[in-house]
Amino acid sequence: MPSLLDHLIIIPIVLPLMAGAAMLLMAERSRRLKAGIGIASVVCLLVVSILLLLQVDTMPAGSSVRTYRLGDWPAPFGIVLVLDRLSALMLVLASVLGLASLLYSLARWHRAGPRFHTIFQLQLMGLNGAFLTGDLFNLFVFFEILLAASYALVLHGDGSARVKAGLAYIAINLTASLLFLIGVSLAYGVTGTLNMADLASRIPTLSPDDAGLLAAAAAILGTAFLMKAGMWPLNFWLPTTYAAASAPAAALFAIMSKVGIYVVLRLWLLMFDTDAGPLAGFGANGLLIGGMLTIAFGTVGVLASQSLPRLAGCSVLVSSGTLIAAIGTGNGAVIGSALFYLVSSTLGIAAFFLLVELVQRLRDPGADVLSVTMEAYGETDDDLEAEVGVAIPATVAILGGSFVACALLLAGLPPLSGFLAKFGMMAAMLKTDGNGVSASSWTLIALLTISGLATLIAMTRSGITSFWARMDDSVPRVRVIEMAPVLGLLLLCLGLTVAGGPAMRYMEATTQSLRASQEYVGGVLSGHPSGTGPGENAR
């Protein structure tokens, strides 16, 4: 049964680990070689993850879960890696972002500090591992790997703003990790297992006392994950940190907050979906309300941002909030569109983070502050002479075009993929088969619309000050290798729009297999010793 192709699942973890470790042995000045190895590794990752995605997608419905036993121990005893539609999707997303930000960093940023390439590879390894693992404690270990790498990436490039933001970021995440550990050990104490599938299969058979403890464990775990995802009120660190990080690091971080979302989505649908007995639907309201508050907080933040990086950081919050609230609705069709939104908004935000740095090269410092205060005090600058016939240089035109594309994506306007995603979510919420649309759905729809409008206002305002109302006519130096990743990410979003049908079909299949948790449980535990079902050998 084991063929070489079965080992493909482990590649996304082993390859960056080997590449990163090998680069540690090389001298700091052999950057060209390191860059070559890094690019080769990320390109391989991309190819492998696309292969995995195709493999998963062609598997028959009802058995789309593949496992890989580490050390060949059967599932509840040994650690397994689990590949299903959701994890394959996240792997592709991570390697796309990895490739884009690594290419971007080659222009300048990889020279800004020591061992950038090693840390970058380890970050990818942590991300891939977190997406693949099927074991709670192993998830903790991969979380620590990706966090340790992200601490270094936040600080990459030095400067007191980064160190200050990094200090808060590390303290918050260490605390979140401790909460994670408490939750994991509590869940182990109640159910006697750390395997996610085994855990899910034991939940319906828990006694009421134990069910209460497990609910506490899930709440503590949820707090830890939602801290990373940036749910209000646990997200004050996020815009500051993301704004302080260097552009390629911030672009990669766009998927890091999605790791928290991914885990919540996976565990919540696995553990507390309709067949979870007394605990079915536990925490749904918390997610829904928390998500909506996050959207509101992010919207206010977007409007009040006085610098472009901070604006990008706040739009991460809006995107996280939308996803959390969509998960909280517990409606399969909404979650399907939310997955589409996840891909589109992650690509859009990453492109925006990369673009922001380029745009900032052509604006004078203080323009952002000026644009907000001018609006607040109702002042207009009348003394601008009419500049007729000034040719727009090609660089500025490309930058401006990309900026417009980012604005459309983040605000969710047609014709780009952000619109399809938001429209899908709203349409799914309004389709209730005769029952009235609930008040919470109306609130969420209103919040989605308002957040889109606010993003549009904020982006337009800073777009005008950076492209139209520039004080000098100098053209910034932007290299092709910096512009190509931004355009590539935006083109991917365009591709997502054009191929909206197939993409949406994949997302719906993903949601269906997520909701059919028996499929996941059965797939993971199929190597179980025959005769004893997963629920029967509880202690």
Question: Could you say which residues in the range 3-22 bind other proteins, by CB under 8 A?
Answer: none
Residue in 291, 244, 300, 239 with CA at minimum distance from that of residue 264: 291
Q: Of 177 and 443, which has the nearer Cβ to other proteins?
A: 177
Does 240 bind other proteins (CB under 8 A)? Our answer is no
Residues 235, 294 contacting (CB under 8 angstroms): yes
Q: Helix axis angle, 500-515 relative to 517-525, nearest 10°?
A: 70
Q: Of 175 and 526, which has the nearer Cβ to other proteins?
A: 175
Q: Of 177 and 205, which has the nearer Cβ to other proteins?
A: 177
Cα distances from 493 to residues 99, 295, 359, 432, 498, in angstroms, run: 16, 22, 20, 30, 9
Residues 115, 89 contacting (CB under 8 angstroms): no
Closest approach of Cβ 202 to other proteins, in Å?
16
Residues 352, 406 contacting (CB under 8 angstroms): yes
- Number of chain positions touching other proteins (CB under 8 A): 27
- CA contacts within 13 A on the Cβ side of 108: 14
Distance CA 294, CA 204 (A): 32
Does 440 bind other proteins (CB under 8 A)? Our answer is no
Q: Of 91 and 196, which has the nearer Cβ to other proteins?
A: 196
Does 215 bind other proteins (CB under 8 A)? Our answer is no
Query: In this structure, what token pair is assigned to residue 215?
Result: 């609910």
Angle at 490 between CA 156 and CA 423, to 5 degrees: 115
Q: Of 159 and 401, which has the nearer Cβ to other proteins?
A: 159
Phi then psi for 187, rounded to 5 degrees? -65, -40
Choosing from 18, 59, 70, 144, the residue that interacts with other proteins (CB under 8 A) is 144
Q: Of 93 and 238, which has the nearer Cβ to other proteins?
A: 238
Closest approach of Cβ 82 to other proteins, in Å?
20
Residue in 334, 329, 275 with CA at minimum distance from that of residue 511: 334
What character string, x for contact with other proteins (CB under 8 A) and - otherwise, covers 159-198? -x--xx-xxx-xx--xx-xx--xx-xxx-xx----x----
Closest approach of Cβ 137 to other proteins, in Å?
6
Residues 278, 116 contacting (CB under 8 angstroms): no
Q: Of 160 and 380, which has the nearer Cβ to other proteins?
A: 160
Residues 295, 321 contacting (CB under 8 angstroms): yes
Residue corresponding to tokens 């200090």: 167
Closest approach of Cβ 97 to other proteins, in Å?
24
Residue in 230, 244, 259, 228 with CA at minimum distance from that of residue 124: 259
Q: Of 155 and 247, which has the nearer Cβ to other proteins?
A: 155
Closest approach of Cβ 258 to other proteins, in Å?
22
Question: Could you say which residues in the range 362-391 bind other proteins, by CB under 8 A?
Answer: none
Q: Of 212 and 393, which has the nearer Cβ to other proteins?
A: 212
Q: Binding segment for other proteins among 157-165, 408-416, 497-505, 519-527 (CB under 8 A)?
A: 157-165
Choosing from 148, 216, 280, 404, the residue that interacts with other proteins (CB under 8 A) is 148
Closest approach of Cβ 177 to other proteins, in Å?
7
Quickly count: other Cβ atoms within 10 Å of residue 170's Cβ: 18
Can you say whether the dihedral through the CA atoms of 24, 27, 29, 33 is positive or negative? Answer: negative
Binding-site ranges for other proteins (CB under 8 A): 137, 141, 144, 148, 151, 155, 160, 163-164, 166-168, 170-171, 174-175, 177-178, 181-182, 184-186, 188-189, 194, 539
